[in-house]
Amino acid sequence: MEIDKKDSKLAGVQAQLTELMAVVKEERKVRKEAEERLDRREAQLEKALKTADNQPPAPASPAKGPKIGIPDKFDGTRGAKAEVFINQVNLYVLANGHLFETDRAIMVFVLSYLTGPASSWAQPWMKKVMSVSLWVTNLSI
């Protein structure tokens, strides 16, 4: 009877071993399939990288629009001269909007093109702009 018990235990162990071997075989199959998928994806990636290397680089900056001349200096003369100055400033600011992100930037730009009586008239504005600028500069120090 002891031999029968040993034989039965041995048969049980052999059955477990057979099951384990089947599991190992299945795991190897799954692993092989995963490695093959990985190899295919790596090949696709290498191909995509080679294709990307052969393409010309994208432009670094957007195409520039038409070049707009800077406004003429303005001395405060009323009438047509004033209208021309305003139109020149508007065109320049419109064409170069990236340079004028704030109203203050536009104001500084316009003030820099005033001469004679117009410049004298604008002195209080210039002082105000400069005092704000100095205050902000001192604040950041």
User: pTM for the full model?
Assistant: 0.49
Classify residue 5: in a domain, yes or no. yes
Same domain, 133 and 86: yes
Classify residue 63: in a domain, yes or no. no
Q: Number of structural domains, the chain? A: 2
Same domain, 48 and 94: no
Classify residue 9: in a domain, yes or no. yes
Whole-number Cα distances in Å, 118 to 10, 28, 56, 91, 124 = 110, 88, 52, 20, 11
Classify residue 69: in a domain, yes or no. no
Classify residue 6: in a domain, yes or no. yes
Same domain, 37 and 2: yes
Per-residue b or e along 5-17, where b marks 16 or more CB atoms closer than 10 Å to that residue's CB: eeeeeeeeeeeee
Least confident of 31-35, 45-49, 92-96, 111-115: 45-49
Same domain, 84 and 136: yes
Same domain, 85 and 136: yes
Classify residue 64: in a domain, yes or no. no
Q: Which residues pair with 114 in a beta bridge?
A: 74
Classify residue 11: in a domain, yes or no. yes
Range of the domain at 99: 80-140
Rounded Cα gap, residues 26 and 14, in angstroms: 18
pLDDT in tens, 40-94: 999 998 888 888 777 776 666 666 778 889 999 999 999 999 999 999 999 999 9
Which of 22, 38, 55 is the C-terminal boundary of a domain? 55
Classify residue 62: in a domain, yes or no. no
Q: What pLDDT does 141 receive?
A: 47
Q: What pLDDT does 36 receive?
A: 93
Question: Cα–chain-centroid distance for residue 63?
Answer: 17
